[in-house]
Amino acid sequence: MANIYPFKGILYKEDLRKASVMAPPYDVISDEYRAKLNKNNPYNVVRLTLPEVYDKAKEYLDNWLDEGILKFDSDCCFYGYTCDYEFDGKKRQLKGILAALKLEEFGKHIRPHEKTLKGPKIDRFNLITTTNASFCPIMGLYDKSHTIREHLSKASSKKPIFEATFEGQLHRLFKITDKEAIKAIEEDFSNKIVIIADGHHRYETALMIKKHYNEQGIKEGGFDYIMILLVEAEDGGLSLGAIHRLIKKLNDLDSFIGKLKEYFQIEEGRNPSADFIMYTDKRFYSLTLKGKRQKGILNSLDSKVFEDVVYKGILKLTDEDIKNQTVSGYAHSEEELIELVDKQKAKVGFILKPMSFEQLVKITEEGLTVPQKSTFFYPKIPSGLVGYHFRSIEGCLDV
Question: Does pLDDT of 47 surpass 70?
Answer: yes
Scored b (16 or more CB within 10 A) or e, 248-283 reads bebeeeeebbeebeebbeeeeeeeeebbbbbbbeee
- Tell me, what's the pLDDT at 119? 56
Least confident of 30-39, 69-78, 119-128: 119-128
- Tell me, what's the pLDDT at 120? 59
> What is d(CA 259, CA 309) in angstroms, rounded to the nearest whole number?
10
Using CB atoms within 10 Å of the CB of residue 20, give its burial: 0 to 12 exposed, 13 to 18 middle, 19+ buried: middle
**Cβ neighbours of 386 (radius 10 Å):** 24
Q: Tell me the mean pLDDT in the region 259-266.
A: 96
- Tell me, what's the pLDDT at 366? 87
What is the signed CA dihedral for 65, 69, 74, 75, rounded to 10 degrees? Answer: -110
Q: Read out DSSP for 84-144?
A: EEEETTEEEEEEEEEEEEEP--SSSSEEESB------HHHHHHHHHHHSEE---EEEEE--
pLDDT band, residue 371 (cuts 50/70/90) = confident
> What is d(CA 247, CA 129) in angstroms, rounded to the nearest whole number?
40
Q: Tell me the mean pLDDT in the region 20-29.
A: 94
**Cβ neighbours of 12 (radius 10 Å):** 22
Least confident of 84-93, 120-129, 257-266, 325-334: 120-129
Least confident of 58-72, 121-135, 289-303: 289-303
Phi, psi values for residue 173, rounded to 5°: -125, 135
Average pLDDT of the chain, as a whole number = 94
What is the signed CA dihedral for 207, 209, 211, 213, rounded to 10 degrees? Answer: -150
Tens-digit pLDDT profile for residues 197-209? 999 889 999 999 9
> What is d(CA 381, CA 289) in angstroms, rounded to the nearest whole number?
37
Question: Does pLDDT of 263 surpass 80?
Answer: yes
Residues 6+ apart with CB under 8 A from 368: 297, 298
At position 110, the amino acid (one-letter code) is I
pLDDT band, residue 190 (cuts 50/70/90) = confident
Tens-digit pLDDT profile for residues 316-357? 999 889 988 999 999 999 999 999 999 999 999 999 999 999
Domains and CATH numbers, the chain: 4-238+378-393 (no CATH), 243-353 (3.30.1760)
Helices (H) and strands (E) in the chain, counts: 12, 21
Instruction: Answer with the residue of higher pLDDT: 392 or 108.
Output: 392
- Tell me, what's the pLDDT at 1? 77
Q: Report percent pLDDT > 90 for the chain.
A: 84
User: Is residue 390 a contact partner of residue 133, using CB atoms and an 8 Å limit?
Assistant: yes
At position 389, the amino acid (one-letter code) is H
pTM for this one? Answer: 0.91
User: Is residue 22 a contact partner of residue 93, using CB atoms and an 8 Å limit?
Assistant: no
- Tell me, what's the pLDDT at 118? 60
CA count, 13 A, side-chain hemisphere, 68: 2
**Cβ neighbours of 94 (radius 10 Å):** 23
